[in-house]
Structure 1
Amino acid sequence: MKQRIVTGVLAGLAFAMLVVLGGWYYKGLLLILALIGFYEYIRLNGYPLRDPLALLGLIGMLAIAAPLQDMGLPRVPPETIVWSLMFALLAVTVLTKNRATLDGSALMLMGAVYVGFGFSAMMAVRGIEPGGLFLSALTFGAIWASDAGAYFVGKTVGRHKLWPAISPNKTIEGALGGVLLSLIVCLISALVAPEWISVGRALTIGIIASVAGQLGDLIQSAYKRLRGVKDSGKLLPGHGGVLDRCDSWLIVFPLLTLTGVLG
């Protein structure tokens, strides 16, 4: 537990500093996390990085996640990237006479979209002008408040299991506690900084961050259980890998941008 706390505090402070700095400090960090996260994903599925499907998935993920225009490259519509990746993956199954399987192609396409759009959305929120830093901090704060509320309420008064087949320690009471604390954090933020966000918009962020964030956590738990592993990686001692730590982020940020709540 001590190692977990120390690692969490140090990593959290470093991450917060880069969020505040923004620009390529933050984008560079997110791209590194995306690369590590996708590597964890292909390992979870039993693929080496040298596999042609894994390499194509990695390239597609980077094309989705990387801020191409900031790199002096023309903007490519996301649907063009996704379709081109799908075509390339399917072509490999033909060229290898099905040694590269259709199932593997589908897994790599899903992984590229899951990881790529997740980190791309985080960059997009930070790049909102004005207020990108505030909105990023609010969203991360809502997610972390939901995690804390779910943990402490679940430990204190949790009695009814939420989904024991996937995550045996989570409770319905804990899930509701997470939603409540997320909403409280967002409400306070709106009252303290009304020039940045309205109460209604803040509460919308709070409910999406908590409900979708908890679902993102369950998605990763279900996937790890399916693959028979405890953690997706070993990047952070006591915390697991990138996918373990960012599972909620990868769902919440795209939902907030795709729905127009942030953007």
Structure 2
Amino acid sequence: MKQRLITGILAGALFLGMCVWGGWPYQLLLAAMALIGTYEFIKMSGIPAAGGLAALCYLSVLGFMIPWSLMDTSPWLSWDQGIWLLMLLFLLVTVFTKNKRDIKIVALIFTGILYIGTGFSYMGVARGADDGHGLLWTFLLLSCIWGSDAGAYFVGRSFGKNKLWPAISPNKTIEGAMGGVLIAIVISAVYALAAPDVLTMGRALLIGASCAVLGQLGDLVQSAYKRVYGIKDSGSLLPGHGGILDRCDSWIIVFPFVHIVMLMPYY
């Protein structure tokens, strides 16, 4: 527990410090985290981390992480064009490897690339929000996610009796999940009170609830994947916490969701 606490404080301080700094340093940190997360996903899926398919994965994720707004230019391709071409490249892997990498594993890896690349790229989108309040939006989402995690843990330990989804995550309880939602909503309301000109109370409550519900679902997604492969942690980069995907599984679901449903400004 001590090691977990120390790692959490140091890693959290580094991440938040880079987030405050913003710009290229923060974007480069996100890109590095995305690459590490991709490495973890590839390893969990049983793919050599230094082969041709792995290289395609790393390059694809870096494509998601290009900070077009920082370069003051527009993407060369639309979203659907880019995804289609990326899909084609992954499908061609089955041809050029003569089915040594068959459609099942290619489809799995392609899904992982979209999951990781989109998730981390939207963290950059939040920080670069065109309303000039990117730092506030980013801190709001992180506060709600972390508050939900803490609320679910402590409420679950104190009052949890009914299992939420024992086949995937045996320690989570319905009471804990509800406690996490409540804490996230309270945190979002505090942000609305502190910055009423930027964030209305109605939007804040929707964001808080979304962070809690989608964040917990993101955690379950990662737990389900690891359970299929019999893996406890996605990696060992963060002592006491596991890997990047273990720590960011909620983030890479929440950040895209709140933008897609138009709860957040887009640059």
TM-score interval, normalised by the smaller of the two chains: over 0.9
* Mean Cα deviation higher: 90-99 or 142-151: 90-99
> What is the rounded CA distance, in whole Å, between the counterparts of 1:37 and 1:30 in structure 2?
10
Task: Give a deviation string over 1:66-94, Cα, whole Å, max 9, x none.
Answer: 22453577513222221111111111211
Q: CA deviation at 1:148?
A: 0.6
Q: CA deviation at 1:169?
A: 0.5
> Conserved in 2, the CA contact under 8 Å of 1:182 and 1:206?
yes
Aligned length: 263
Is 2:50 the partner of 1:50? yes
> What is the rounded CA distance, in whole Å, between the counterparts of 1:110 and 1:61 in structure 2?
12
> Conserved in 2, the CA contact under 8 Å of 1:56 and 1:85?
no
Is 2:254 the partner of 1:255? no
- Normalising by structure 1, we get a TM-score of 0.97
> What secondary structure does 1:168 align onto?
strand
Q: How does 1:1-263 map to 2 (within 5 A)?
A: 1-68=1-68, 70-71=70-71, 75=75, 76-128=77-129, 129-263=131-265
> What secondary structure does 1:70 align onto?
coil
Q: Pick closer, same or farther for the CA change 1:73–1:50 going to 2, 3 Å.
A: farther
> What is the rounded CA distance, in whole Å, between the counterparts of 1:94 and 1:50 in structure 2?
20
> What is the rounded CA distance, in whole Å, between the counterparts of 1:178 and 1:143 in structure 2?
9
> Conserved in 1, the CA contact under 8 Å of 2:118 and 2:256?
yes
> What is the rounded CA distance, in whole Å, between the counterparts of 1:57 and 1:78 in structure 2?
18
RMSD: 1.3
Aligned AA (2:92): A
Runs of 4+ in 1 over 4 A off after TM superposition: 71-74
> What is the rounded CA distance, in whole Å, between the counterparts of 1:69 and 1:127 in structure 2?
8
Aligned AA (1:27): Q
Aligned AA (2:132): P
Aligned AA (1:218): L
> What secondary structure does 1:208 align onto?
helix
> Conserved in 1, the CA contact under 8 Å of 2:148 and 2:212?
yes
Q: Pick closer, same or farther for the CA change 1:217–1:158 going to 2, 3 Å.
A: same
Percent of pairs identical after alignment?
Answer: 51
> Conserved in 1, the CA contact under 8 Å of 2:23 and 2:70?
no
Q: CA deviation at 1:54?
A: 2.2
Unaligned 5+ segments in structure 2 are none
